């Protein structure tokens, strides 16, 4: 079990076979966070906020029987294309990091295979895979936008 948890921690942190979110969001000019190049449907800000909201929802669902998920899909996507302030950008990134750390703590304390009592068959293992998959998918979109804006390596 310890080996599985160690692998999950690596997977959740990103960067194994792909770039992690932290690297993907470093050094982005604030003025470009709301850009949607070539008719893409989301900006970097909207993708980061979506990651934050969805990851928070999965964390809270995993630990709180009284948690109410946002309404799909509107509650998972910000309407504004850019953050209002640099501090709101920093706060969003910080919450993603903090919630991920909290989820990693949770998987180290509970049975990964036990169904979540208030769920419909979900387990912590499934939620861990879902967070990792979801974050990797949208991190790749952030990198594509950065490439289109000529602000990637």
What domains can be seen in the chain, in order of their start residue? 2-148 (1.20.120.450)
| Mean pLDDT, range 6-27, rounded to an integer | 91
The pLDDT of residue 53 is 98
Is a pLDDT exceeding 90 seen at residue 18? no
Please state, for a pLDDT cut of 70, what percent of the chain lies above it.
Answer: 99
Structure tokens at 115: 């169904």
pLDDT of amino acid 14: 83
Give residue for tokens 């709180």.
Answer: 64
**pLDDT at position 15 over 90:** no
| Per-residue pLDDT tens over the stretch 20-32 | 999 999 999 999 9
pLDDT category, 140, cuts 50, 70, 90?
very high
Global pTM value: 0.96
Mean pLDDT, rounded, for 29-40: 97
């Amino acid at each position: 079990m310890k080996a599985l948890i160690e692998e999950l921690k690596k997977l959740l942190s990103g960067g194994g076979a792909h770039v992690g979110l932290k690297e993907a969001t470093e050094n982005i000019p604030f003025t470009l966070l709301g850009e949607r190049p070539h008719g893409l449907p989301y900006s970097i800000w909207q993708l980061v906020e979506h990651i934050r909201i969805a990851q928070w929802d999965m964390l809270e669902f995993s630990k709180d029987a009284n948690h109410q998920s946002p309404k799909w899909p509107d509650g998972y996507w910000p309407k504004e294309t850019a953050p209002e302030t640099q501090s709101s950008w920093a706060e969003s990134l910080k919450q993603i990091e903090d919630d991920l750390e909290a989820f990693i703590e949770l998987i180290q304390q509970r049975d990964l295979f036990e169904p979540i009592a208030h769920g419909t068959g979900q387990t912590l293992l499934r939620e861990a895979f879902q967070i990792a998959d979801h974050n990797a998918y949208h991190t790749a979109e952030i990198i594509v936008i950065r490439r289109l804006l000529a602000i990637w390596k």
